[in-house]
């Protein structure tokens, strides 16, 4: 999948948030999906969306170039990664540090958009405790936006009501 983006935004945040809202609407929630934000005349533009058709990891190497200032991607919400979906992975953090780019991530568990800027944010800033006693540290970044859950990512509940019988009162 590769959908083109044509809008130019004034800020990197606006471009990445818009792209992640688009990703939530059109990408398969079982696979990570993402792209990059580039500087263009007049502002910033998000690339098209791509997916690796795998639950974890999306390869953005083809999108990178000298004018890339940020990347963005989704984190799926499954029983296997629910405790970690709201954090940037170690690979996410290392890529942003090494490439000197800002990272944006939409968790399809809590629907928050998070931003990690290696020049401003601490790495491994959140302690995660397991029932086993194991403690690890993960990077949470800052919440910069929210996407309303899509019908594909939300549990649809239907309440069936039985019609009440009319109460007859003695006369």
Q: Where are the domains of the chain?
A: 12-153
Q: Tens digits of per-residue pLDDT, 38-86?
A: 999 999 999 989 888 777 778 777 888 889 999 999 998 888 777 778 8
Instruction: Enter the pTM of the model.
Output: 0.79
**Domain 12-153 fold:** Cytidine Deaminase; domain 2 (3.40.140)
Give dist(CA 162, CA 27) in Å, integer: 38
What sign does the CA torsion over 49, 52, 55, 58 have? negative
Complete DSSP assignment for 44-66? EEE---EE-SSSS----GGG--T
Contacting residues for 1 by C-beta, under 8 A, at least 6 apart = 26, 27, 33, 49, 50, 51
As a whole number, the mean pLDDT across the chain is 80
């Amino acid at each position: 999948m590769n959908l083109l983006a044509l809008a130019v935004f004034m800020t990197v945040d606006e471009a990445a948030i818009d792209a992640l809202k688009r990703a939530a609407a059109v990408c398969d929630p079982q696979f990570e999906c993402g792209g990059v934000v580039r500087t263009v005349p007049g502002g910033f533009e998000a690339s098209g969306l791509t997916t690796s058709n795998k639950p974890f990891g999306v390869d953005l190497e083809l999108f990178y170039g000298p004018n890339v200032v940020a990347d963005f991607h989704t984190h799926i919400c499954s029983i296997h990664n629910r405790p970690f979906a709201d954090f940037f992975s170690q690979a996410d953090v290392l890529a942003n540090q090494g490439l000197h780019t800002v990272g944006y991530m939409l968790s399809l568990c809590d629907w928050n958009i998070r931003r990690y800027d290696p020049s401003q944010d601490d790495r491994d800033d959140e302690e995660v405790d397991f029932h086993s006693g194991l403690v690890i540290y993960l990077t949470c970044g800052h919440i910069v936006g929210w996407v309303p859950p899509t019908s594909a990512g939300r549990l649809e509940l239907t309440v069936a009501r039985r019609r009440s019988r009319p109460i007859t009162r003695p006369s």
